[in-house]
Structure 1
């Protein structure tokens, strides 16, 4: 079930670094070198497979941008699954950076 606007603002407000952008949750992660960013993307892939829910990933040298949204009957938006996954990505970032 898609989160309401109020739920969405509350949940994203609790997530360090994440913001709402065009109906999706977006976070830009910065790394000290390219290979640390790639190691992070590998962790993101593992987490995504476990959730069976995959973000859009953009890699630009030492920057990795993740975009999360869910397609449902009600349209495209953000669900509790997106929020839980974003928490996991933040934890992986802390371990990888």
Structure 2
């Protein structure tokens, strides 16, 4: 089983095959506070104010750009909801890939280091 440190050490690569339900369940155990919702992994990050929320969004922008794996973001005054899935898997029908979990673990590290 992968743990968060193992996931953070990996680099996103082009994915064409979605993870199985068992693989998704196993990887969800490695990342705290993420859940499976409508075929995506989702986490709500909470902040003291809008400035901290935007600082987080700016910090994660570098990582998600460098990994070339872009989540759906919902940004409000003191929250940022992040939703990951991979559009290129399952013949373009989408699903979850290793990349989603790699990026989730990296975003968790940014939050834990700067906003907790």
2:114 is the counterpart of 1:92: no
Distance verdict in 2 for CA 1:73–1:29, change over 3 Å: closer
CA-to-partner distance for each residue in 1:21-77, whole Å, 9 max, x for gaps? 000000000011211111110011110111011011111110110000001251211
Alignment partner of 1:71: what SS?
coil
Deviation above 3 Å: which 4+ runs of structure 1?
none
Structure 1's 16 and 73: CA in aligned 2 closer, same or farther, altered over 3 A?
closer
List gaps (5 residues or longer) in structure 2. 1-16
Give the TM-score normalised by the residue count of structure 1: 0.95
Structure 1: state its 5+ residue gaps. Answer: none
Higher fraction of strand: 1
Q: State the number of aligned residues.
A: 97
How well do the aligned residues superpose, as a CA RMSD in angstroms? 1.0
Residue 23 of structure 1 corresponds to 39
Question: What is the TM-score normalised by the length of structure 2?
Answer: 0.80
Which of 60, 64, 69 in structure 2 is aligned with 1:53?
Answer: 69
